[in-house]
């Protein structure tokens, strides 16, 4: 039996059965549910149906039963009458051509945090979900089901009051304007939210208690939510190598908000959203939604419908956390679709700081400038008034291309393959990149794949270039989304000619096959040459093929972050010394980099070397050394390396036996190890939150 694919709030078959009983036997429902008579529906109870199907029918049944039994009460806001002018000549919101898939959010069981063996992994899962999705769902969250159910009951009752009463009467002694509906600023249908809400500042929840149930429930819930939010914030801050105290101190319970949402059935769902696409302007949101489908989020440029999971709470990262984490945690755009048949309820708890709280990125220079919450809030309100929508964090981005010309050239990222290895480099030119690879290793090593580069062409030591940057290259979109190769190329975060050419296995195999079957292949100048002949070095050779799309994505993510910090005119060079004669001795580095680049990890801690490395560590702020050491040590342990790093009290340099790995026969270097190295670099980067990084070649 095919049903409409709508999930209702009916929790089980018993509830379903009671709905069915509500429908008078004479009622024909065929005009409501395509092709099914009431008789058939009744039988549906008896046949074994998938739960979704049953719930689908119930949804309809419930509406019918409500329509039939409840006196007509005008509790829904007069959307059609009020926004009438917006409907004339309006197109459907352009979502109907989109294929929106359903997704399950990463599910995290918070009880694992109390298990010694599981806690670290659980924290990591939270950090990963916040970085990759910006959304996740939690179970064992400590908020009693009964409390949530009581709140839902009260919420339904509040919204069931006649519309006039909702607009004219103050809700208990909460703020006057706590009731909202529609979108007062809407100038087009796509700005209109087909929903109503009570927006309740929790500062008012601890006013002299009344005996009202709703006040008691809100009071109780807000305490539990605050506790939960603090727990999550601690974990997320820890993931950034920071401490959650700042956030907890600034986001006290009375700064936070509770929002009770109701999405009434909407007769024109193709033309209007339940809640327009937005990001939340807070640090963190805890959402309790019912079983009616509607919430959607944007991931990788596509919208996904979040499958409701009645036993979980949904957590999403807000703008402030994205800024504070310098873009590591994503404040993801989301929206609620309106539903022609069903009403939907949700409750959101917004973790907000006081207006005076200053939000500063965890990395300096950060992607976003320093701002206060009050300032941000005002800007958002102003944008909504003027443009009908929020601009959000993009306003706070450093747009360096608008600043005075940079004295340094635009940095490039290179995936460079020598005969021996493949490296990710950031350098001023391909020549520099090759030179880096030959002398010391910037960044990290990847398993070699794709084209070969002839190293015979020996580049000279490059001089710092004074050329003005290509300003377009500084353009970076604040999508907060997963980076894709094309997106990055489109954003010009990487110059097209230096973009990494991503190919999946199939494409690579085809290229190789074509090369084998042809007697000649074109070199980078387009001249034919024998396959197997090493191609002369060229910028084209840098467009290497990388086997796994996934690897590329990770790589891009790292590039993106590396790129971001270059926006502040400083460059990050993550060096690991090889200590080969001409390579990374401090003297050579100084000469080469003009003391603008620092060694942050070195090789074995032989006494001489550790002295050297200590000196180099001395270039960063002393306070940062333990953090860096701790981070690199953690990673070292993860990779399974024996290093002396990781002891924060240790005054010795981080000693990752990093190069031992790259000397292992190439075949043994798995993709995973490549990934671990990527993560290694990313971690070093994130760990360097206050580290003044500099240097360019």
Ligand X SMILES: O=C(O)CCC(=O)C(=O)O
Residues with a known catalytic role: 344
Per the CB < 8 A criterion, the answer to whether 54 and 96 are in contact is no
Contacting range for Fe ion; rule: CB under 5 A; set: 197-205, 279-287, 458-466, 561-569: 279-287
State which residue, 23 or 202, has the beta carbon closest to ligand X. 202
* CB 170, min distance to ligand X, A: 22
Give the span between the Cα atoms of 355 and 374, in whole angstroms: 4
Give the span between the Cα atoms of 489 and 497, in whole angstroms: 9
Per the CB < 8 A criterion, the answer to whether 405 and 386 are in contact is no
Token look-up 């519309």 returns 163
- DSSP codes, 590-624: HHHHTT-S-EEEBS---HHHHHHHHHHHTTS-TTH
Which residues 333-352 are close enough to bind ligand X by CB under 6 A? 334, 336, 346, 348
* CB 128, min distance to ligand X, A: 22
Which one of 221, 225, 287, 293 is in contact with ligand X (CB under 6 A)? 287
Q: H-helix or E-strand containing 108?
A: strand 107-109
Binding partner of residue 143 among Fe ion, ligand X, none, CB cut-off 5 to 8 Å per kind: none
State which residue, 260 or 616, has the beta carbon closest to Fe ion. 260
Which one of 280, 319, 333, 478 is in contact with Fe ion (CB under 5 A)? 280
State which residue, 198 or 435, has the beta carbon closest to ligand X. 198
Contacting range for ligand X; rule: CB under 6 A; set: 287-295, 479-487, 570-578, 653-661: 287-295
Contacting range for Fe ion; rule: CB under 5 A; set: 57-65, 275-283, 498-506, 513-521: 275-283
Question: Is 333 among the residues that bind Fe ion (CB under 5 A)?
Answer: no
Number of Cβ atoms within 10 Å of the Cβ of 684: 22
Secondary structure letter of residue 361 according to DSSP = -
Token look-up 């069981």 returns 109
* CB 263, min distance to ligand X, A: 7
State which residue, 283 or 680, has the beta carbon closest to ligand X. 283
* CB 55, min distance to ligand X, A: 18
Binding mask 578-617 for Fe ion (x = CB under 5 A): ----------------------------------------
Q: H-helix or E-strand containing 358?
A: strand 358-359
Per the CB < 8 A criterion, the answer to whether 134 and 147 are in contact is no
Handedness of CA 513, 518, 523, 526 (dihedral sign): negative
Which residues 264-283 are close enough to bind ligand X by CB under 6 A? 275, 280
State which residue, 261 or 576, has the beta carbon closest to ligand X. 261
State which residue, 59 or 443, has the beta carbon closest to ligand X. 59
Contacting range for Fe ion; rule: CB under 5 A; set: 193-201, 273-281, 338-346, 687-695: 273-281
Binding partner of residue 259 among ligand X, Fe ion, none, CB cut-off 5 to 8 Å per kind: ligand X
* CB 150, min distance to ligand X, A: 19
* CB 332, min distance to Fe ion, A: 10
Secondary structure letter of residue 118 according to DSSP = T
Per the CB < 8 A criterion, the answer to whether 577 and 440 are in contact is yes
Which residues 347-376 are close enough to bind ligand X by CB under 6 A? 348
Number of Cβ atoms within 10 Å of the Cβ of 668: 9
**Helices (H), ranges, 410-534:** 430-439, 485-491, 505-517
Tokens of 534: 């090493």
* CB 285, min distance to ligand X, A: 6
Give the span between the Cα atoms of 87 and 631, in whole angstroms: 56
Q: How far is CA 302 from CA 191, 447, 480, in A?
A: 20, 31, 13
Give the span between the Cα atoms of 655 and 497, in whole angstroms: 36
Binding partner of residue 137 among Fe ion, ligand X, none, CB cut-off 5 to 8 Å per kind: none
Binding partner of residue 323 among Fe ion, ligand X, none, CB cut-off 5 to 8 Å per kind: none
Q: How far is CA 321 from CA 136, 190, 362, in A?
A: 15, 27, 10
Contacting range for Fe ion; rule: CB under 5 A; set: 274-282, 353-361, 413-421, 457-465: 274-282
Per residue in 32-44, is it b (16+ CB within 10 Å) or e — as a string?
bbeebebeebeeb
Give the span between the Cα atoms of 613 and 607, in whole angstroms: 10
| Count of chain residues binding Fe ion (CB under 5 A) | 1
φ/ψ bin of 128: left (φ > 0), alpha (ψ from -120 to 50), beta (otherwise): alpha
Give the span between the Cα atoms of 69 and 18, in whole angstroms: 13
Binding partner of residue 295 among ligand X, Fe ion, none, CB cut-off 5 to 8 Å per kind: ligand X
Binding mask 554-573 for ligand X (x = CB under 6 A): --------------------
State which residue, 16 or 303, has the beta carbon closest to Fe ion. 303
State which residue, 282 or 491, has the beta carbon closest to ligand X. 282
| β partners of residue 446 | 422
Binding partner of residue 540 among ligand X, Fe ion, none, CB cut-off 5 to 8 Å per kind: none
Helix 145-159 × helix 213-238 angle, to 10°: 130
Give the span between the Cα atoms of 532 and 367, in whole angstroms: 44
Number of Cβ atoms within 10 Å of the Cβ of 499: 21
DSSP E strand boundaries for 25-87: none
* CB 295, min distance to Fe ion, A: 9
Binding mask 295-334 for ligand X (x = CB under 6 A): x--------------------------------------x
| Residue number of the CB atom closest to ligand X | 346
State which residue, 129 or 295, has the beta carbon closest to ligand X. 295
| Residue number of the CB atom closest to Fe ion | 280
Q: Which residues contact 359 (CB under 8 A, 6 or more apart)?
A: 320, 323, 324, 353, 368, 370, 371, 372, 373, 376
* CB 336, min distance to Fe ion, A: 8
Per the CB < 8 A criterion, the answer to whether 662 and 445 are in contact is yes
* CB 252, min distance to ligand X, A: 21
Binding partner of residue 261 among Fe ion, ligand X, none, CB cut-off 5 to 8 Å per kind: ligand X
State which residue, 280 or 478, has the beta carbon closest to Fe ion. 280
State which residue, 7 or 613, has the beta carbon closest to ligand X. 7
Binding partner of residue 289 among Fe ion, ligand X, none, CB cut-off 5 to 8 Å per kind: ligand X
Per the CB < 8 A criterion, the answer to whether 346 and 10 are in contact is no
Binding partner of residue 629 among Fe ion, ligand X, none, CB cut-off 5 to 8 Å per kind: none
| Count of chain residues binding ligand X (CB under 6 A) | 11
* CB 320, min distance to ligand X, A: 14
Which one of 289, 410, 417, 661 is in contact with ligand X (CB under 6 A)? 289
Tokens of 683: 């971690």
DSSP E strand boundaries for 602-690: none
Q: How far is CA 357 from CA 246, 283, 325, 383, 547, in A?
A: 10, 12, 15, 21, 46
Q: Which residues contact ligand X by CB under 6 A?
A: 259, 261, 275, 280, 287, 289, 295, 334, 336, 346, 348
Please report, as ranges, the residues that interact with Fe ion according to CB under 5 A.
280
């Amino acid at each position: 039996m095919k049903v409409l694919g709508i999930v209702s709030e009916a929790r089980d078959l018993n509830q379903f059965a009671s709905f069915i009983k509500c429908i008078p036997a004479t009622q024909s429902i065929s005009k409501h549910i395509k092709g099914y008579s009431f008789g058939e529906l009744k039988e549906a109870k008896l046949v074994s149906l998938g739960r979704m199907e049953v719930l689908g029918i119930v949804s309809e049944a419930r509406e019918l039963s409500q329509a039939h039994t409840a006196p007509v009460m005008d509790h829904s806001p007069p959307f059609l009458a009020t926004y009438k002018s917006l409907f004339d000549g309006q197109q459907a919101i352009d979502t109907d051509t989109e294929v929106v898939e359903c997704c399950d959010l990463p599910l995290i069981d918070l009880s694992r945090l109390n298990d010694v063996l599981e806690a670290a992994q659980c924290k990591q899962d939270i950090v990963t979900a916040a970085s990759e999705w910006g959304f996740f769902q939690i179970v064992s969250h400590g908020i009693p089901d009964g409390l949530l159910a009581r709140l839902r009951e009260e919420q339904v009752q509040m919204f069931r009051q006649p519309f006039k009463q909702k607009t004219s009467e103050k809700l208990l002694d909460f703020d006057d304007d706590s009731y909202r509906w529609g979108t007062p600023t809407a100038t087009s249908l796509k700005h209109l939210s087909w929903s109503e809400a009570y927006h309740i500042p929790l500062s008012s929840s601890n006013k002299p208690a009344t005996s009202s149930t709703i006040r008691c429930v809100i009071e109780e819930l807000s305490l539990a939510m605050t506790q939960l939010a603090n727990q999550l914030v601690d974990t997320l801050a820890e993931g950034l190598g920071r401490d959650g105290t700042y956030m907890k101190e600034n986001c006290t319970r009375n700064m936070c908000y509770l929002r009770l949402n109701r999405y009434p059935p909407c007769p024109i769902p193709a033309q209007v959203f339940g809640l327009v696409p937005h990001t939340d302007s807070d640090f963190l949101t805890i959402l309790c939604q019912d079983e009616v489908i509607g919430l959607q989020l944007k991931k990788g440029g596509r919208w996904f419908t979040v499958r409701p999971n009645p036993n979980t709470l949904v957590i999403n990262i807000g703008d402030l956390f994205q800024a504070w984490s310098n873009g590591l945690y994503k404040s993801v755009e989301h929206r609620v679709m309106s539903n022609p048949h069903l009403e939907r309820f949700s409750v959101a708890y917004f973790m907000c700081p006081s207006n005076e709280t200053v939000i500063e990125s965890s990395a300096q220079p950060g992607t976003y400038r320093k701002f206060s919450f009050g300032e941000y809030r005002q800007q958002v309100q102003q944008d909504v008034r003027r443009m009908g929508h929020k601009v959000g964090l993009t306003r706070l981005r450093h747009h360096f291309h608008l600043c005075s010309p940079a004295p340094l050239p635009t940095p490039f990222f290179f995936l460079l393959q020598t005969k021996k290895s493949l490296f990710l480099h950031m350098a001023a030119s391909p020549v520099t990149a090759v030179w880096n690879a030959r002398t010391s290793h910037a960044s990290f090593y990847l398993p070699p794949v794709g084209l070969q580069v002839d190293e015979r062409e020996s580049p000279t030591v490059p001089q710092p270039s004074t050329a003005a940057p290509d300003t377009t290259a500084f353009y970076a979109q604040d999508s907060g989304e997963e980076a894709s190769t094309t997106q990055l190329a489109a954003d010009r975060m990487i110059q097209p000619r230096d973009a990494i050419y991503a190919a999946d296995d199939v494409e690579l195999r085809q290229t190789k096959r074509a090369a084998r079957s042809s007697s000649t292949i074109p070199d980078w100048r387009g001249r034919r040459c024998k396959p197997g002949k090493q191609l002369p070095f060229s910028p084209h050779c840098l467009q290497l093929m990388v086997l796994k799309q996934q690897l590329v994505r990770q790589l891009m993510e790292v590039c993106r972050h590396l790129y971001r910090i270059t926006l502040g005119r400083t460059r990050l060079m993550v060096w690991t010394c090889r200590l080969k004669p001409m390579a990374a001795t401090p003297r050579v580095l100084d000469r080469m980099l003009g003391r603008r680049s620092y060694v942050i990890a070195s090789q074995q801690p032989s006494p001489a070397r550790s002295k050297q490395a200590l000196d180099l560590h001395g270039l960063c702020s002393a306070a940062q050394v333990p953090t860096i050491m701790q981070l690199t040590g953690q990673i070292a342990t993860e990779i399974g390396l024996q290093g002396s790093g990781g002891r924060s009290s240790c005054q010795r340099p981080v000693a990752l036996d990093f190069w031992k790995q790259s000397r292992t026969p190439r075949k043994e270097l798995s993709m995973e190890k490549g990934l671990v190295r990527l993560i290694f670099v990313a971690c070093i980067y994130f760990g360097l939150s206050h580290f003044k990084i500099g240097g360019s070649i």
